Amino acid sequence: MPDRGIPLSASDLRRLSPSPIAPGVPAAPEVTQTVTESPTPAPTSSAPRTSAPPTPSPSESRGSAPTPTQAQSAPKQTTVNGWTATDTGGKITYVRSFKVDGGQAVIQIQDQVVSLVSATPATGFTTDVAQPSPVRLVVRFTGSGQAFTIDALWFNDGPYAEVTAS
């Protein structure tokens, strides 16, 4: 045990810290301050502390939560022509929200099939939805002598939309 009259180094603190209570419990964070004399004695441990927690045996690891290396990676998102493209392991889903004076629509394209997620007309407007083919969806908001059309389709290997007002 170091002399109590001199400050302890971070390595002394790690060496003197108690070992984890149970396997898988993370080690205490590294100390970045110098510690001077404490009113209570530092705890001791019969086993030296290692830098990584013990690895569970195969029988202990069954049914346990996945480790960070086993966890699934988060889907990757990019923007393509105004569409949010989410790649979940090779399958790409495109989603886009359209807001016009006549209302708001959210449209999704997956596996070249266009589908409506939601369509909410503004006050005084109505919504008409048509799907002439699986690769095309038309949402039309009409009211107050106006019409707003959102024409979304899978075109040239990518999502495409055209918004018109009349």
pLDDT band at 101 (very low <50, low <70, confident <90, very high): very high
Q: Please list, in sequence order, all residues whose beta carbon lies within 8 angstroms of the beta carbon of residue 40, skipping any fewer than 6 positions away.
A: none
In angstroms, rounded to a whole number, what is the distance separating the alpha carbons of residues 156 and 142? 30
* pLDDT for 146 beyond 90: yes
pLDDT score recorded for residue 63: 53
In angstroms, rounded to a whole number, what is the distance separating the alpha carbons of residues 100 and 163? 9
Say what the pTM is. Answer: 0.56
Which residues face 96 on adjacent strands? 107
pLDDT score recorded for residue 7: 55
pLDDT tens-place string over residues 22-77: 444 344 343 333 333 334 444 444 444 444 445 555 554 455 555 554 456 678 99
pLDDT tens-place string over residues 83-95: 999 998 889 999 9
pLDDT band at 107 (very low <50, low <70, confident <90, very high): very high
Q: How many CA atoms lie within 13 A of 23 on its CB side?
A: 10
